[in-house]
Amino acid sequence: MKYAFTEIFDIPKLTELCESFTRINGTVTALLDLDGNVHIKTGWQPICTQFHRLNEKSAARCLESDTAIANKLAQGEKYNVYQCKNGLVDVAVPIYVGNQHVANFFTGQFLFQPADHSYFHQQAKELGVEIIPYMDALKKVPVFSEDEIKRIMTFLVALAQTIGEMGKARLDLLRLSEAERVQNAALKRKTSELKVAKQALEKLASEDALTGLCNRRYFDKTLSQEILRARRYQHSLVLCLFDVDKFKVINDTYGHGIGDAVLQHISTIVLNSLRKTDTVSRIGGDEFSILFPETENEHIEALLQSICNKIANTQIEINGYQIRVSCSFGTASSEGGNLSERELMERADRALYGAKSEGRNQVMHFSSLLQTTSLLS
Ligand SMILES: Nc1nc2c(ncn2[C@@H]2O[C@H](COP(=O)(O)OP(=O)(O)OP(=O)(O)O)[C@@H](O)[C@H]2O)c(=O)[nH]1
Protein backbone atom coordinates (compact mmCIF):
# COMPACT_ATOMS: atom_id res chain seq x y z
CA MET A 1 0.00 0.00 0.00
CA LYS A 2 1.28 3.47 -0.89
CA TYR A 3 0.19 5.12 2.37
CA ALA A 4 1.65 4.46 5.82
CA PHE A 5 -0.47 2.30 8.09
CA THR A 6 -0.79 5.14 10.59
CA GLU A 7 -2.10 7.46 7.87
CA ILE A 8 -4.99 5.14 7.18
CA PHE A 9 -5.90 4.12 10.72
CA ASP A 10 -6.56 6.49 13.57
CA ILE A 11 -4.37 4.61 16.02
CA PRO A 12 -4.98 6.83 19.11
CA LYS A 13 -8.78 6.48 18.69
CA LEU A 14 -8.59 2.74 18.14
CA THR A 15 -6.29 2.38 21.14
CA GLU A 16 -8.91 4.10 23.32
CA LEU A 17 -11.53 1.65 22.03
CA CYS A 18 -9.30 -1.36 22.67
CA GLU A 19 -8.46 -0.13 26.17
CA SER A 20 -12.16 0.03 27.07
CA PHE A 21 -12.66 -3.41 25.56
CA THR A 22 -9.89 -4.75 27.79
CA ARG A 23 -11.36 -2.99 30.83
CA ILE A 24 -14.81 -4.54 30.15
CA ASN A 25 -13.88 -8.19 29.79
CA GLY A 26 -10.20 -8.50 30.62
CA THR A 27 -9.18 -9.73 27.18
CA VAL A 28 -6.04 -8.42 25.53
CA THR A 29 -5.93 -6.76 22.14
CA ALA A 30 -3.23 -6.21 19.56
CA LEU A 31 -3.24 -4.69 16.11
CA LEU A 32 -0.35 -5.76 13.92
CA ASP A 33 0.35 -4.87 10.32
CA LEU A 34 1.49 -7.64 7.97
CA ASP A 35 5.15 -6.77 8.61
CA GLY A 36 4.60 -7.68 12.26
CA ASN A 37 4.71 -4.09 13.60
CA VAL A 38 2.56 -3.77 16.71
CA HIS A 39 0.40 -0.61 16.48
CA ILE A 40 -1.97 -1.29 19.39
CA LYS A 41 -1.37 -3.37 22.47
CA THR A 42 -3.73 -3.39 25.47
CA GLY A 43 -4.05 -5.56 28.58
CA TRP A 44 -1.28 -7.98 27.70
CA GLN A 45 -0.75 -10.68 30.31
CA PRO A 46 2.43 -10.52 32.44
CA ILE A 47 3.07 -14.18 31.54
CA CYS A 48 3.56 -13.01 27.97
CA THR A 49 5.22 -9.59 28.49
CA GLN A 50 7.49 -10.58 31.37
CA PHE A 51 8.27 -14.19 30.46
CA HIS A 52 7.27 -15.62 27.09
CA ARG A 53 8.17 -12.57 25.00
CA LEU A 54 11.39 -11.93 26.95
CA ASN A 55 12.84 -15.39 27.20
CA GLU A 56 14.78 -16.29 24.09
CA LYS A 57 13.39 -19.80 23.74
CA SER A 58 9.74 -18.89 24.38
CA ALA A 59 10.03 -15.67 22.34
CA ALA A 60 11.01 -17.80 19.35
CA ARG A 61 7.83 -19.80 19.90
CA CYS A 62 5.79 -16.56 20.14
CA LEU A 63 7.15 -15.57 16.75
CA GLU A 64 6.38 -19.03 15.37
CA SER A 65 2.82 -18.79 16.74
CA ASP A 66 2.29 -15.25 15.42
CA THR A 67 3.49 -16.30 11.97
CA ALA A 68 1.35 -19.44 11.91
CA ILE A 69 -1.81 -17.57 12.89
CA ALA A 70 -1.10 -14.76 10.39
CA ASN A 71 -0.58 -17.34 7.62
CA LYS A 72 -3.94 -18.94 8.37
CA LEU A 73 -5.61 -15.54 8.02
CA ALA A 74 -3.74 -14.87 4.81
CA GLN A 75 -5.50 -17.92 3.40
CA GLY A 76 -8.79 -16.08 3.81
CA GLU A 77 -10.13 -17.39 7.14
CA LYS A 78 -12.69 -15.20 8.87
CA TYR A 79 -10.88 -15.69 12.15
CA ASN A 80 -8.52 -18.18 13.65
CA VAL A 81 -8.32 -19.68 17.14
CA TYR A 82 -4.87 -20.95 17.86
CA GLN A 83 -3.21 -22.80 20.70
CA CYS A 84 0.07 -20.94 21.02
CA LYS A 85 3.33 -22.78 21.36
CA ASN A 86 3.67 -21.54 24.94
CA GLY A 87 0.34 -23.08 26.00
CA LEU A 88 -2.12 -20.16 25.79
CA VAL A 89 -4.91 -19.48 23.32
CA ASP A 90 -4.76 -16.70 20.73
CA VAL A 91 -7.45 -15.53 18.35
CA ALA A 92 -6.91 -13.34 15.29
CA VAL A 93 -9.20 -11.59 12.86
CA PRO A 94 -7.98 -10.16 9.52
CA ILE A 95 -8.56 -6.53 8.63
CA TYR A 96 -9.30 -5.74 5.00
CA VAL A 97 -9.18 -2.34 3.38
CA GLY A 98 -11.25 -2.80 0.27
CA ASN A 99 -10.19 -6.29 -0.71
CA GLN A 100 -6.64 -5.93 0.49
CA HIS A 101 -5.61 -7.74 3.65
CA VAL A 102 -3.59 -5.13 5.57
CA ALA A 103 -3.50 -6.10 9.24
CA ASN A 104 -4.57 -8.58 11.88
CA PHE A 105 -6.45 -7.86 15.03
CA PHE A 106 -5.55 -10.18 17.90
CA THR A 107 -6.99 -11.12 21.21
CA GLY A 108 -5.84 -14.04 23.29
CA GLN A 109 -3.43 -14.87 26.09
CA PHE A 110 -6.26 -16.76 27.78
CA LEU A 111 -7.16 -20.40 28.40
CA PHE A 112 -10.24 -22.44 27.61
CA GLN A 113 -9.72 -24.56 30.73
CA PRO A 114 -8.12 -23.94 34.12
CA ALA A 115 -4.36 -24.03 33.70
CA ASP A 116 -2.56 -27.34 33.80
CA HIS A 117 -0.12 -26.38 36.55
CA SER A 118 2.21 -29.27 35.99
CA TYR A 119 2.54 -28.36 32.28
CA PHE A 120 3.42 -24.74 33.05
CA HIS A 121 5.68 -25.75 35.97
CA GLN A 122 7.55 -27.98 33.60
CA GLN A 123 7.66 -25.14 31.00
CA ALA A 124 9.11 -22.70 33.55
CA LYS A 125 11.88 -25.18 34.28
CA GLU A 126 12.52 -25.75 30.60
CA LEU A 127 12.72 -22.02 29.96
CA GLY A 128 14.91 -21.50 33.00
CA VAL A 129 12.68 -18.77 34.49
CA GLU A 130 11.90 -18.28 38.17
CA ILE A 131 9.09 -20.67 39.00
CA ILE A 132 7.12 -18.71 41.64
CA PRO A 133 6.74 -15.41 39.73
CA TYR A 134 6.00 -17.40 36.57
CA MET A 135 3.25 -19.39 38.31
CA ASP A 136 1.89 -16.13 39.84
CA ALA A 137 1.67 -14.66 36.31
CA LEU A 138 -0.11 -17.82 35.18
CA LYS A 139 -2.77 -17.26 37.87
CA LYS A 140 -3.69 -13.95 36.18
CA VAL A 141 -4.43 -15.61 32.83
CA PRO A 142 -8.21 -15.58 32.38
CA VAL A 143 -10.19 -18.68 31.51
CA PHE A 144 -13.00 -18.26 28.97
CA SER A 145 -15.54 -20.80 27.87
CA GLU A 146 -15.88 -21.47 24.15
CA ASP A 147 -19.29 -19.76 24.26
CA GLU A 148 -17.80 -16.62 25.78
CA ILE A 149 -15.11 -16.61 23.12
CA LYS A 150 -17.73 -17.03 20.38
CA ARG A 151 -19.54 -13.93 21.67
CA ILE A 152 -16.27 -12.02 21.90
CA MET A 153 -15.38 -13.12 18.37
CA THR A 154 -18.72 -11.95 16.99
CA PHE A 155 -17.90 -8.53 18.38
CA LEU A 156 -14.28 -8.60 17.21
CA VAL A 157 -15.15 -9.68 13.67
CA ALA A 158 -17.64 -6.78 13.45
CA LEU A 159 -15.04 -4.42 14.94
CA ALA A 160 -12.37 -5.58 12.48
CA GLN A 161 -14.81 -5.02 9.64
CA THR A 162 -15.61 -1.52 10.90
CA ILE A 163 -11.90 -0.73 11.26
CA GLY A 164 -11.40 -1.88 7.66
CA GLU A 165 -14.28 0.24 6.40
CA MET A 166 -12.96 3.29 8.27
CA GLY A 167 -9.54 2.63 6.72
CA LYS A 168 -11.12 2.40 3.26
CA ALA A 169 -12.95 5.69 3.73
CA ARG A 170 -9.75 7.33 4.89
CA LEU A 171 -7.80 5.83 2.00
CA ASP A 172 -10.37 7.10 -0.51
CA LEU A 173 -10.11 10.54 1.05
CA LEU A 174 -6.30 10.46 0.88
CA ARG A 175 -6.43 9.40 -2.78
CA LEU A 176 -8.96 12.09 -3.56
CA SER A 177 -6.93 14.82 -1.91
CA GLU A 178 -3.81 13.58 -3.68
CA ALA A 179 -5.65 13.72 -7.01
CA GLU A 180 -6.77 17.21 -6.04
CA ARG A 181 -3.20 18.15 -5.12
CA VAL A 182 -1.91 16.88 -8.47
CA GLN A 183 -4.69 18.76 -10.24
CA ASN A 184 -3.98 21.94 -8.27
CA ALA A 185 -0.27 21.71 -9.02
CA ALA A 186 -1.04 21.29 -12.74
CA LEU A 187 -3.42 24.24 -12.54
CA LYS A 188 -0.81 26.34 -10.75
CA ARG A 189 1.78 25.45 -13.38
CA LYS A 190 -0.63 26.32 -16.19
CA THR A 191 -1.56 29.61 -14.48
CA SER A 192 2.04 30.66 -14.11
CA GLU A 193 2.77 29.65 -17.74
CA LEU A 194 -0.20 31.73 -18.81
CA LYS A 195 1.03 34.62 -16.67
CA VAL A 196 4.45 34.47 -18.34
CA ALA A 197 2.81 34.27 -21.78
CA LYS A 198 0.53 37.19 -20.91
CA GLN A 199 3.50 39.26 -19.70
CA ALA A 200 5.39 38.44 -22.90
CA LEU A 201 2.34 39.39 -24.93
CA GLU A 202 1.86 42.63 -23.00
CA LYS A 203 5.53 43.44 -23.49
CA LEU A 204 5.20 42.78 -27.20
CA ALA A 205 2.08 44.91 -27.37
CA SER A 206 3.74 47.81 -25.58
CA GLU A 207 7.25 47.62 -26.99
CA ASP A 208 8.74 49.26 -30.04
CA ALA A 209 10.35 46.44 -32.02
CA LEU A 210 13.29 48.47 -33.35
CA THR A 211 14.49 50.25 -30.20
CA GLY A 212 12.96 48.25 -27.34
CA LEU A 213 11.49 51.48 -25.99
CA CYS A 214 7.77 51.82 -25.28
CA ASN A 215 5.65 52.15 -28.40
CA ARG A 216 3.06 54.73 -29.40
CA ARG A 217 0.17 52.67 -28.03
CA TYR A 218 1.80 52.45 -24.62
CA PHE A 219 2.69 56.12 -24.68
CA ASP A 220 -0.91 57.16 -25.41
CA LYS A 221 -2.21 55.00 -22.57
CA THR A 222 0.41 56.26 -20.12
CA LEU A 223 -0.14 59.88 -21.09
CA SER A 224 -3.86 59.72 -20.29
CA GLN A 225 -3.17 57.95 -16.98
CA GLU A 226 -0.54 60.47 -15.98
CA ILE A 227 -2.76 63.42 -16.92
CA LEU A 228 -5.51 61.99 -14.69
CA ARG A 229 -3.05 61.43 -11.85
CA ALA A 230 -1.61 64.92 -12.19
CA ARG A 231 -5.14 66.33 -12.11
CA ARG A 232 -6.18 64.31 -9.06
CA TYR A 233 -3.07 65.11 -6.99
CA GLN A 234 -2.41 68.56 -8.52
CA HIS A 235 1.03 67.37 -9.58
CA SER A 236 2.99 68.77 -12.42
CA LEU A 237 3.76 66.55 -15.39
CA VAL A 238 6.27 67.36 -18.10
CA LEU A 239 6.02 66.00 -21.62
CA CYS A 240 9.07 66.14 -23.85
CA LEU A 241 8.95 65.37 -27.55
CA PHE A 242 12.22 65.02 -29.41
CA ASP A 243 13.12 64.30 -32.99
CA VAL A 244 16.35 63.49 -34.81
CA ASP A 245 17.66 66.45 -36.76
CA LYS A 246 17.83 65.98 -40.51
CA PHE A 247 17.37 62.28 -40.18
CA LYS A 248 16.38 62.03 -43.82
CA VAL A 249 19.97 62.94 -44.72
CA ILE A 250 21.28 60.06 -42.59
CA ASN A 251 18.96 57.66 -44.38
CA ASP A 252 19.78 59.07 -47.77
CA THR A 253 23.54 59.04 -47.12
CA TYR A 254 24.05 55.72 -45.33
CA GLY A 255 20.89 53.77 -46.08
CA HIS A 256 17.83 52.86 -44.08
CA GLY A 257 19.57 50.05 -42.13
CA ILE A 258 22.17 52.42 -40.74
CA GLY A 259 19.40 54.92 -40.06
CA ASP A 260 17.77 52.24 -37.91
CA ALA A 261 21.00 51.63 -36.02
CA VAL A 262 21.30 55.37 -35.35
CA LEU A 263 17.80 55.36 -33.86
CA GLN A 264 18.88 52.48 -31.62
CA HIS A 265 21.99 54.36 -30.44
CA ILE A 266 19.96 57.44 -29.61
CA SER A 267 17.45 55.32 -27.70
CA THR A 268 20.19 53.77 -25.60
CA ILE A 269 21.71 57.15 -24.73
CA VAL A 270 18.34 58.56 -23.66
CA LEU A 271 17.25 55.46 -21.77
CA ASN A 272 20.51 55.33 -19.81
CA SER A 273 20.11 58.96 -18.76
CA LEU A 274 16.62 58.70 -17.25
CA ARG A 275 15.01 57.54 -14.01
CA LYS A 276 12.91 54.37 -14.01
CA THR A 277 9.77 56.42 -13.42
CA ASP A 278 10.23 58.36 -16.64
CA THR A 279 8.67 56.77 -19.71
CA VAL A 280 10.54 57.05 -22.96
CA SER A 281 8.74 55.95 -26.11
CA ARG A 282 9.28 55.96 -29.85
CA ILE A 283 6.10 57.50 -31.15
CA GLY A 284 6.91 57.86 -34.84
CA GLY A 285 9.72 57.30 -37.38
CA ASP A 286 12.42 59.45 -35.76
CA GLU A 287 10.17 60.97 -33.14
CA PHE A 288 10.34 60.16 -29.45
CA SER A 289 8.64 61.22 -26.24
CA ILE A 290 9.55 61.30 -22.57
CA LEU A 291 6.99 61.57 -19.80
CA PHE A 292 8.25 62.97 -16.51
CA PRO A 293 5.58 62.45 -13.84
CA GLU A 294 5.51 64.61 -10.70
CA THR A 295 8.15 66.87 -12.16
CA GLU A 296 8.49 70.63 -12.73
CA ASN A 297 10.13 71.78 -15.93
CA GLU A 298 13.03 73.52 -14.13
CA HIS A 299 14.00 70.13 -12.60
CA ILE A 300 14.61 68.52 -15.98
CA GLU A 301 15.95 71.38 -18.02
CA ALA A 302 19.56 70.53 -17.14
CA LEU A 303 18.95 66.81 -17.65
CA LEU A 304 17.49 67.29 -21.14
CA GLN A 305 20.27 69.68 -22.04
CA SER A 306 22.85 67.09 -21.01
CA ILE A 307 21.06 64.38 -23.06
CA CYS A 308 20.97 66.77 -26.02
CA ASN A 309 24.72 67.40 -25.63
CA LYS A 310 25.50 63.72 -25.15
CA ILE A 311 23.75 62.82 -28.41
CA ALA A 312 25.46 65.61 -30.32
CA ASN A 313 28.88 64.76 -28.88
CA THR A 314 28.69 61.04 -29.46
CA GLN A 315 30.41 59.70 -32.52
CA ILE A 316 28.33 56.72 -33.54
CA GLU A 317 30.29 53.98 -35.26
CA ILE A 318 28.31 51.68 -37.53
CA ASN A 319 29.74 49.43 -40.23
CA GLY A 320 32.92 51.51 -40.35
CA TYR A 321 31.02 54.78 -40.69
CA GLN A 322 31.44 57.46 -38.07
CA ILE A 323 28.22 59.34 -37.76
CA ARG A 324 27.25 62.34 -35.71
CA VAL A 325 23.63 63.31 -35.15
CA SER A 326 21.75 65.75 -33.02
CA CYS A 327 18.20 65.97 -31.72
CA SER A 328 15.81 68.79 -30.97
CA PHE A 329 13.69 68.74 -27.84
CA GLY A 330 10.39 70.46 -27.05
CA THR A 331 8.84 70.35 -23.60
CA ALA A 332 5.55 71.42 -22.04
CA SER A 333 4.17 71.22 -18.49
CA SER A 334 0.68 70.06 -17.68
CA GLU A 335 0.13 72.85 -15.11
CA GLY A 336 -1.23 70.66 -12.33
CA GLY A 337 -3.10 68.48 -14.76
CA ASN A 338 -5.21 71.33 -16.11
CA LEU A 339 -4.36 70.61 -19.73
CA SER A 340 -5.92 67.86 -21.80
CA GLU A 341 -3.74 65.26 -23.51
CA ARG A 342 -4.26 66.99 -26.83
CA GLU A 343 -3.33 70.42 -25.44
CA LEU A 344 -0.20 69.08 -23.78
CA MET A 345 0.85 67.28 -26.96
CA GLU A 346 0.24 70.38 -29.02
CA ARG A 347 2.32 72.55 -26.69
CA ALA A 348 5.23 70.10 -26.63
CA ASP A 349 5.01 69.77 -30.41
CA ARG A 350 5.06 73.54 -30.84
CA ALA A 351 8.06 73.77 -28.52
CA LEU A 352 9.82 71.08 -30.60
CA TYR A 353 9.00 72.98 -33.77
CA GLY A 354 10.40 76.08 -32.06
CA ALA A 355 13.66 74.23 -31.24
CA LYS A 356 13.92 73.15 -34.89
CA SER A 357 13.24 76.70 -36.11
CA GLU A 358 15.83 78.13 -33.74
CA GLY A 359 18.56 76.00 -35.38
CA ARG A 360 17.97 72.46 -34.00
CA ASN A 361 20.19 70.59 -31.45
CA GLN A 362 18.58 72.33 -28.49
CA VAL A 363 15.91 72.07 -25.85
CA MET A 364 12.98 74.44 -25.82
CA HIS A 365 10.18 74.71 -23.28
CA PHE A 366 6.75 75.89 -24.40
CA SER A 367 6.90 78.90 -22.03
CA SER A 368 10.14 80.22 -23.59
CA LEU A 369 8.58 79.73 -27.00
CA LEU A 370 5.84 82.11 -25.89
CA GLN A 371 8.47 84.65 -24.75
CA THR A 372 10.30 84.34 -28.08
CA THR A 373 7.04 84.81 -29.93
CA SER A 374 6.07 87.85 -27.87
CA LEU A 375 9.56 89.35 -28.27
CA LEU A 376 9.25 88.90 -32.02
CA SER A 377 5.77 90.34 -32.18
N1 LIG B 1 15.82 54.42 -40.85
C2 LIG B 1 14.57 54.70 -40.62
N3 LIG B 1 14.04 55.83 -41.10
C4 LIG B 1 12.77 56.14 -40.81
C5 LIG B 1 11.97 55.30 -40.07
N6 LIG B 1 10.74 55.87 -39.97
C7 LIG B 1 10.79 57.01 -40.64
N8 LIG B 1 12.03 57.20 -41.18
C9 LIG B 1 12.55 58.29 -41.95
O10 LIG B 1 12.86 59.37 -41.10
C11 LIG B 1 12.86 60.52 -41.83
C12 LIG B 1 12.19 61.58 -41.02
O13 LIG B 1 12.38 62.79 -41.65
P14 LIG B 1 11.67 64.11 -41.15
O15 LIG B 1 11.37 63.98 -39.69
O16 LIG B 1 10.54 64.44 -42.05
O17 LIG B 1 12.73 65.18 -41.38
P18 LIG B 1 14.21 65.19 -40.90
O19 LIG B 1 15.05 64.80 -42.04
O20 LIG B 1 14.42 64.38 -39.70
O21 LIG B 1 14.43 66.69 -40.61
P22 LIG B 1 13.98 67.52 -39.34
O23 LIG B 1 13.05 66.67 -38.54
O24 LIG B 1 13.27 68.71 -39.87
O25 LIG B 1 15.21 67.85 -38.64
C26 LIG B 1 12.15 60.21 -43.15
O27 LIG B 1 13.12 60.13 -44.17
C28 LIG B 1 11.57 58.84 -42.93
O29 LIG B 1 11.54 58.06 -44.07
C30 LIG B 1 12.53 54.09 -39.57
O31 LIG B 1 11.91 53.30 -38.92
N32 LIG B 1 13.83 53.86 -39.87
Q: State in Å: Cα 248 to ligand 1 middle.
A: 5
Q: What ipTM, to 2 d.p.?
A: 0.97
- Classify 294 in phi/psi space as left (phi over 0), alpha (psi -120 to 50) or beta: left
From the CB of 326, is ligand 1 less than 6 Å away? no
Ligand 1 nearest-atom number relative to CA 360: 25
The reply to whether ligand 1 has any atom less than 6 angstroms from the CB of 244 is yes
**Rounded CA separation 164/14 (Å):** 12
- Top CATH class of 5-178 equals alpha beta
329 DSSP assignment: E
Domain with CATH 3.30.450.40 in the chain: 5-178
Residue 272 CA to its chain's centroid (Å): 37
The CATH number for 216-376, chosen from 3.40.50.300, 3.40.50.720, 3.30.70.270, 3.40.225.10, is: 3.30.70.270
Active-site residue 349, yes or no? no
**141/184 Cα distance (integer angstroms):** 56
Report how far residue 315's alpha carbon sits from residue 324's, in angstroms, rounded to the nearest whole number.
5
Sign of CA dihedral 299, 303, 305, 306: positive
Beta strand 327-333 with 363-365: parallel, antiparallel or unpaired?
Answer: parallel
Q: Which amino acid is at 29?
A: T
pLDDT per residue as tens, the chain (377 positions): 577 888 888 999 999 999 999 998 888 999 988 888 889 999 999 999 999 999 999 999 998 988 888 888 888 778 888 899 999 999 999 999 988 888 999 999 999 999 999 999 999 999 999 999 999 999 999 999 988 888 888 888 898 899 889 989 988 999 999 999 999 999 999 999 999 999 888 888 899 999 999 999 999 999 999 999 999 988 889 999 999 999 999 999 999 999 999 999 999 999 999 988 899 999 999 999 999 998 888 889 999 999 999 999 999 999 999 999 999 999 999 887 789 999 999 999 999 999 999 999 999 999 987 666 554 44
pTM, entire model = 0.57
| Distance of CA 182 from the midpoint of ligand 1 (Å) | 56
Q: If DSSP codes are grouped into helix, strand and coil, which group holds residue 155?
A: helix
Q: Compute the distance between CA of residue 358 and CA of residue 372 in angstroms, rounded to an integer.
A: 10
